[in-house]
Structure 1
Amino acid sequence: MAISLLASPPTLIRHSRVRVAPTMAAPITGDLTTAGEFKDHHPSLEVLGGATHSFCPIIKTHLVRPYNHFPVFGSNRHIETIFASFFREIPDVKLKRECLRTPDDGTVTLDWVSGDAGNLPGNTPILLHMLVRARNKGWRVVVFNSRGCADSPVTTPQMYSASFLGDLDAVVNHVVARYPKANLYGVGWSMGANLLVQYLGKEAGGRRFSGAVSMCNPFDLVMSDEDLCKGFNRIYNRSLAKALSGILKKHLMLFEDIGGDYNIPLAANAQTIRDYDDGLTRVSFGFKSVDEYLQNSCSANFIKYVRTPLLCIQAKNDPIAPDRAIPREDIKGNPNCLLVVTPKGGHLGWVAGENAPRGCPWTDPMVMDFLQHLENERSGTHQGTGNLLQSVNV
């Protein structure tokens, strides 16, 4: 799991409280239903949320146009997911790595966008495209890599999990201390989005964010786990399990003679994510079973408590983040949240728009417009003057 922070030069940044400003946007010109659904959008999109009045004018240019997937590559959710993962162009982004010790002596890494460093492993194309776009707008950018991810060192017998927020809190504290006058923004993809939304809803530190975006969030990990055990989705399950067990195998010496309920051989040779979680994750974080761990790691349980401006973007045909898991009623009831659902997109695909098929995903321009507007309202400028935190899964 990786998380990134973006910030503009601190001399251009002014601090402001994290809340939805009443002057954020002009009154919406489109039609709204009483249930919080925005009707003045193209019928190919689903748009709803308690923040429709505030947020829809910001991104209306994206909402009124049809979502046209790219032929062939965007026609099937599995083809789109795989194509975007393996064949999307990789921008040339120079990153400078910083290792950060956590309070329990664990280690995470921060990859700062820089003009004088080299390319680093593990960062996905969908993340890098967003970094380039934000950096070109004048934002300062940093990627947070969880323990073991993107070749981050592992220094304690504990990996990351879908519910542990301590490392994210340590990173937020570190970045805020370095740039105390900057506004902080977060973007999360996949499991990183799940972690980010939990943080916004559960932790006091979440209120230091001036805005956030969640994309391809599984929301309900029990439902996601069920779907990963069906049909072609088993391929994703095995692939993710292989990646997780591969990280563990690099650091097996830390887990020698660990005792307790750990089953390190099961985790190291996991055929499914559930195997890995049963052998390692649920034990590390004090859960009696994998089901208990998953039930307590669902960001759907906390989105009603989010007090930060939050844009959620999902794909209706996502094979990993199922459409039925989206907490629509809670999003409608939260005046800080807006949901946009595209008819296609797969998982982290969105092979559509003027940059398709190999360029940035359809979501990037919308996300940047949303964050830039929030920053302009808070800083009183029309330039990029904020920090952005981004999160993606392995």
Structure 2
Amino acid sequence: MPITLFGVPSRMVVAQVRQNIIIIEFTGRSCQLSGHMQTLYCVLGDFSARDKVVYKRTLLRLLDGGTLGLDFTPSDDSHLPPDTPIIVVLHGLTGGSYESYVRAILSPGCVPVHQGGLGYRAVVVNFRGCAGVPVTSPQLYSAGHTDDLRQALFYISHRYPEAPLLGLSFSLGANVMTRYVAEEGERSRLKSACVLGCPWNLAANSSKLLTTYIGRHVYSKGMGRNLVNLLKRHVSTFASDHEVAKAAAVTMALTKPTIDMFDEHFTRIGGGSSPPWPFASASDYYEYSSSHNVLNKIKIPLLAINAADDPVVQDVPMDVEGNGWAIMALTPCGGHLGWFESGEVWGEIRRWIKGPVFEWLRATGEDFVRSPPRWRPLHEEGGFIKEVGIDRLGCKELEGSDIIMGTEGEAGLLAGL
């Protein structure tokens, strides 16, 4: 009799359980698609007509001059109680709140319970320069820079002080979120975290991408091209004599750069604005930013799900060093942020991953009782929301807000990576 996991006994069953390691056997129709097919469908598929989400955007100005875009849904949440759980989302490499993998969970997750949803609020934290967010300081974002998430959580906690905050993140955003909860430990403002497709060991996974033709010329160069295109949109905002602007000019002159080339020429310099940035090399940036070596520091419930056939993330840690807070789940199929299966209706393709994610969010949002968190208190200083004892960080809401249609992506960028 198989042991079921997350209430999906007909398709996903636990094959092995060792300490906090879950190796999952998936018996559904998703395994008819290879990891490459799942990943490429995530990139090239047309998801504009499904999982529509309407967001209300709030722009945050950070103490260093940077800007974040926080997209809240439902856009009118006045009917929800103040203690309604909030799903805090970080997107992938060059994505945003419009990504299909984000909407696949938030669209049903934020509808009322009587309609089959969770009835939660959600907010997508769009990185600097992503999803139409302006770049207003000489910095973009990176896998190792956690301060932007930290400051966004200042604001969300201040705006909804009674609400439990549940982390949900994808790919690069998953690495950022994992590092954040590890750095904060018992002070984490997130009550739990679910990280999907996390790249973990950045050096190992970047290196393995380059060993195959499709890895180098499709995935690595595709991500490199996305990043260069994103950089081109915002390079004019950098002062020409700034080191970040100089790095951007060199990077944009590269011919078909792979992601490691982009990181070597730009991310190690422009991926953060405070020590330990800038790094001497991409290798140093990878060593600092990787999340596989901080799992033992996590002090909140964390569920990490990766797919064994993910062509982008091939090196996945399955050792949490005895940390009872972290659970590692590995599915044999799913590609990178795919986890597709055929639906009941002919021609329908859906993401089955929302089932286990929903159960995790519901369990940690409603059933898990957390001991009183040891947050540093928030206070306002000069209009900025700050944490007591951390003077270098702060955020304030900018005037005005926009209604954002979640299906409107970024032209010229490959989605889903």
TM value normalised by structure 1: 0.76
SS of alignment partner, residue 299 of structure 1: coil
Change (3 A) 1:359 1:353: closer
Which residue matches 1:19?
A: none
Q: Bigger CA drift: 255-264 or 303-312?
A: 255-264
Q: Which residue pairs with 2:28 in the alignment?
A: 68
Alignment correspondent of 1:275: 261
- Give yes or no for contact 1:191–1:393 (8 Å, CA) kept in 2: no
Aligned to 2:191: 210
Q: Give the deviation of 1:244 after TM superposition.
A: 1.0
Greater fraction of residues in helix: 1
Q: Mean alpha-carbon deviation: is it higher for 182-191 or for 83-92?
A: 83-92
1:184 to 145, 165, 168: 165
The aligned runs of 1:242-391 (5 Å cut-off) are: 242-260=225-243, 262-270=246-254, 271-284=257-270, 285-322=277-314, 325-330=315-320, 333-352=322-341, 354=343, 358-378=348-368
Letter in 1 for 2:296: K
- How far 1:195 sits from its partner (Å)? 0.8
- Offset at residue 363 of structure 1 (A): 1.2
Which amino acid counterpart does residue 289 of structure 1 have in structure 2? S
Q: 1:48 to 1:300 in 2, by over 3 A?
A: farther
Q: CA deviation at 1:69?
A: 3.4
Greater RCO, CA 8 A, separation 6+: 1
Contact preservation (8 Å) 1:233, 1:320:
yes
Distance in 1 (CA, whole Å) between partners of 2:161 and 2:357 is 24
Distance 2:58 2:348 in 1: 30
Paired position in structure 2 for 1:239: 222
Sort the Cα spacing of 1:358 and 1:269 in 2 relative to 1 into closer, same or farther, 3 A.
farther
CA 1:180–1:44: 2 relative to 1, 3 Å = closer
Contact 1:321/1:347 (<8 A) preserved? yes
CA-based RMSD of the aligned residues comes to: 3.2
SS at match of 1:181: coil
Secondary structure of the residue that 1:232 maps to in structure 2? Answer: helix
The residue identity in structure 1 corresponding to 2:327 is L
Give the match's secondary structure for 2:319: helix
Q: Which amino acid is 1:251 matched to?
A: H
Counterpart contact for 1:49–1:333, Cα < 8 Å:
no
Q: Check the 8 A contact 1:317/1:345 in 2, yes or no.
A: yes
- Return the alpha-carbon distance in structure 2 between the equivalents of residues 349 and 83 of structure 1: 8
Check 1:245–1:30 CA distance in 2 against 1; reply closer, same or farther (3 A cut): closer
Provide the residue aligned with 1:160 in structure 2: 141
- Structure 1 window deviating more from structure 2 (186-195 vs 245-254): it is 245-254
Shift in CA distance, 359/30, structure 1 to aligned 2, threshold 3 Å: closer
Q: Is the CA contact 2:168–2:195 (under 8 Å) kept in the aligned structure 1?
A: yes
Deviations 1:5-25 (A, max 9, x none): xxxxxxxxxxxxxxxxxxxxx
1:225 aligns with 2:217: no
Q: Secondary structure at the match of 1:157?
A: coil
Distance in 2 between the 1:354 and 1:135 partners? Answer: 22
SS in 1 for 2:289: coil
| Unpaired segments ≥5 residues, structure 2 | 78-94, 112-117, 271-276, 371-414
Distance, in Å, in 1 between the alignment partners of 2:158 and 2:18 is 33
- Per the normalisation by structure 2, the TM-score is 0.72
Distance 1:358 1:292 in 2: 44
Call closer, same or farther: CA 1:42–1:257 in 2, change over 3 Å: closer
Counterpart amino acid of residue 305 in structure 1: K
1:198 pairs with one of 169, 176, 179: 179
Q: Which amino acid aligns with 2:108?
A: R
Distance 1:48 1:200, change over 3 A: farther
Once the two structures are superposed, residues 83-142 of structure 1 have per-residue CA deviations (whole angstroms, 9 ceiling, x without a partner) of 12322633121111111111201001011113569xx97621111011012202110111
CA distance, structure 2, for counterparts of residue 341 and residue 201 of structure 1 = 21
1:47–1:336 CA distance, 2 compared to 1 (3 A): farther
Residue equivalent to 1:127: 102
Give the direction of change, closer, same or farther, for the CA distance of 1:229–1:152 in structure 2 (3 Å limit): same
Specify whether residues 229 and 310 from structure 1 end up closer, same or farther in structure 2 by C-alpha distance, changes over 3 A only: same
Match of 2:73 among 107, 113, 129: 113
Give, in angstroms, the shift of residue 75 of structure 1: 2.4
Quote the offset at 1:377 in angstroms: 1.6
The residue identity in structure 1 corresponding to 2:325 is N
- The answer as to whether partners of 2:135 and 2:234 remain within 8 angstroms in 1 is yes
Cα distance between partner residues in 2 of 1:165 and 1:228: 25
Q: Against the structure 1 CA distance between its residues 43 and 93, is the aligned structure 2 distance closer, same or farther, given a 3 Å change threshold?
A: closer
Number of residue pairs matched by the alignment: 331
Partner-residue secondary structure (3-state), 1:142: strand
Deviates more, 1:86-95 or 1:189-198: 86-95
Cα displacement string for residues 43-89 of structure 1 (whole angstroms, at most 9, x for unaligned residues): 9755546457xxx9xxxxx97x8432337xx4221111111232263
CA apart distance, 1:237: 1.2
AA matched with 1:104:
D
Paired position in structure 1 for 2:155: 174
Unaligned runs of 5+ in 1: 1-28, 32-39, 57-61, 381-391
Q: Give yes or no for contact 1:47–1:341 (8 Å, CA) kept in 2.
A: no
- Structure with more of its chain in strand, by fraction: 2
